[in-house]
Chains A and B, each alone.
Chain A
Amino acid sequence: MGTGPVVIVGAGHAALEAAAALRAEGHTRPVILVGAETAPPYARPPLSKDYLTGRIRPHELWLRPRSFFAEQHITAMLGDRAVEIDRDASRVRLASGERITYDRLILATGSRPRRLSVPGADLEGVVALRSLADAEELRCALRDAGDLLVVGGGFIGLEVASVARGLGLRVTVVESGPHLMGRSVSRTLSAHLATLHRAEGTRVLLNRELVALRGERGHVRVAELNNGARVAADVVVVGIGVLPNTALAAQADLTTGDGVIVDRWLRTSDRSVYAIGDCARFPSPHTARPVRLESVQNASDQARCVAAALTGHRRPYISVPWFWTEQCGARVQMAGITRDHDRTVVSGSPAEGRFSVFCFRGGRLVGTESVNRSADHMITRRLLANGAAGLAADDVARPGFDIRRWPAQPI
């Protein structure tokens, strides 16, 4: 490879980690980071949790101190946006008009919230939580509100519901499917979460769709559901999934399709262009089909994988996916991709709020969902990294099973 710069488009977790990892791996050529937001790269997970209560201030979210960029000789072009890639000239054009030449390009363009398409979706008080600015708007809105409506029973919506209950708001969650977090977790975990939220006083409405929002003087007041019910709402949080930001890649004729398509080395259809984080669709040994993962683990590990490749240590991306959420005081952790399981075995006690759901497909462990059982989660991550051979559903089902003692000691 040449001696030109590595240009990273995006300034989120994946982008920052890629820049940091390049330097940590001894990469000495110019590294340029281009991000639309003016804030330095920050942690997103707290935005739907402690940030909303005011317990965390913005400067505590910064992933690295401001001095980091100068010290590491990384050029951070914040508050500017990449608008066009000219692959023939190996050049990126920014909204400001500036053009930057790259030797290698890393797309870390992230994702954006899916928008509501019902009447009233643009009323004041309707928030989709993605950025620090969104979180700040929501934090202020929750302070003055009495009724919160959460549209979508996924990670973000449920985390916000939990925080808002803690702040004393009346909270309603409307989910169009029959289960909370229905696309990503087992029925056992879904049902447990519904129980926890209801016990905290949140109204959880399943199989219900929002059809319209009605306001007063431009501000949302009432939501109408498909069964005719009306729900009071001073604030509406929209958590109905995200869409990958692929426009830039598509414009440059890179292969896209619900994400920027990459190979197992995270290369796009152009070998000098990589894609990482929320925007990348990649083949994984942990899933039957290529996936896109929206998680800190994926952003961080993919960033390291690309940095290694650019410094001469090319290896395929095989990291074990894992996720976490905090709701109603419960620590919920997921290792592996569990959604395609055909058998589950519960270890521990759901009634006591401490258990894990071990998920199998075709007799093989595909992942574990743990509630207040972090040891199960951590050890599952190690097992999956090593191929997860040997642990059968019947082993987990045996009375007294404890994964910390697996493999079982010979008698």
Chain B
Amino acid sequence: MAKITYQHPDGTETVVEVAAPNTVMRGAKLNNIEGIVAQCGGSAQCGTCHVYIDEGNTLPLPEMHEAEDDVLCGTAAERRPTSRLSCQLPVSEAIDGLIVHLPTTQI
């Protein structure tokens, strides 16, 4: 179980508890959080679950693999150094307190 904060582009926040073995993407879908489309359902194909990790993050996140890096080359909102695909971020207690920022658009 981890508490995840999804910050919307207008600055409002939705904070939810997400259970393992879900991903940060699935946590948004399960809680009806707008701003995560996830067309491909979580297989790092579509780039529509793009998030920005909070700048001050110190929690351990998995290394980015090549396919994720490639997909992030074509996201609808600009790519930044903090960009990740939320479907590639598994939820565990280790990321309790994670804050992600949602981009203005996914499509």
Contacts and interface: CB of A to CB of B under 8 A. Distances in A.
Interface of A: 24, 43, 45-46, 63-65, 68, 71-72, 296-297, 300-301, 304, 322, 324, 326, 331, 333, 372-375, 377-379, 381-382, 404
A374 B71 CA distance: 5
Interface stretch (B3-11, B43-51, B56-64, B90-98): B43-51
B43 A297 contact: no
Contacts of B69: 375
A377 B41 contact: no
Given A71-B32, A375-B70, 6 more contacts: A64-B30, A331-B45, A331-B67, A372-B67, A375-B74, A382-B74
B73 A375 contact: yes
A72 B40 CA distance: 23
15 contacts: A46-B41, A64-B29, A64-B30, A72-B32, A296-B40, A322-B46, A324-B45, A326-B43, A375-B69, A375-B71, A375-B73, A378-B47, A378-B71, A379-B73, A404-B73
B45 A333 contact: yes
Nearest to B74: A378
B107 A378 contact: no
A135 to B, nearest CB: 14
B67 A297 contact: no
Contacts of A331: 45, 67
Contacts of B71: 374-375, 378
Contacts of A375: 69-71, 73-74
Contact of B32 (A43, A64, A322): A64
Q: Main secondary structure on chain B at its contact with chain A? A: loop
Contacts of B30: 64-65
Contacts of A326: 43
Q: Interface size for chain B: under 10, 10 to 19, 20 to 34, or 35 or more residues?
A: 20 to 34
Contacts of B46: 297, 322, 324
B29 A374 contact: no
B39 interface: yes
Interface string B87-107: 000000000000000000001
B73 A304 contact: no
A297 B32 contact: no
A290 B47 CA distance: 27
Nearest to B73: A375
B91 to A, nearest CB: 14
Contacts of A72: 32
Contact of A297 (B39, B44, B70): B39
Given A64-B32, A68-B32, A324-B45, A300 B73 contact: no
B74 A373 contact: no
A43 B37 CA distance: 13
B34 interface: yes
A296 B38 CA distance: 10
Contacts of A301: 107
A43 B43 CA distance: 12
A147 B50 CA distance: 41
Contacts of A379: 73-74
A374 B70 contact: yes
Contacts of A297: 39, 46
A296 B39 contact: yes
A167 B34 CA distance: 38
A28 to B, nearest CB: 16
A214 B41 CA distance: 39
Contact of B40 (A24, A45, A65, A372): A45
Given A63-B29, A375-B74, A300 B39 contact: yes
B28 to A, nearest CB: 11
Interface in B19-42: 29-32, 34, 37, 39-41
A301 B107 CA distance: 9
A390 to B, nearest CB: 17
Most central of A45, A63, A373 by chain B CB within 10 Å:
A45
B36 to A, nearest CB: 12
A296 B40 CA distance: 7
A24 B74 contact: no
A84 B73 CA distance: 47
A300 B106 CA distance: 12
B32 to A, nearest CB: 6
A378 B37 contact: no
B96 to A, nearest CB: 21
A43 B74 contact: no
The 9 tightest CB contacts between A and B, nearest first, are: A378-B74, A374-B70, A375-B70, A375-B73, A43-B41, A324-B45, A374-B71, A65-B30, A379-B74
A377 B29 contact: no
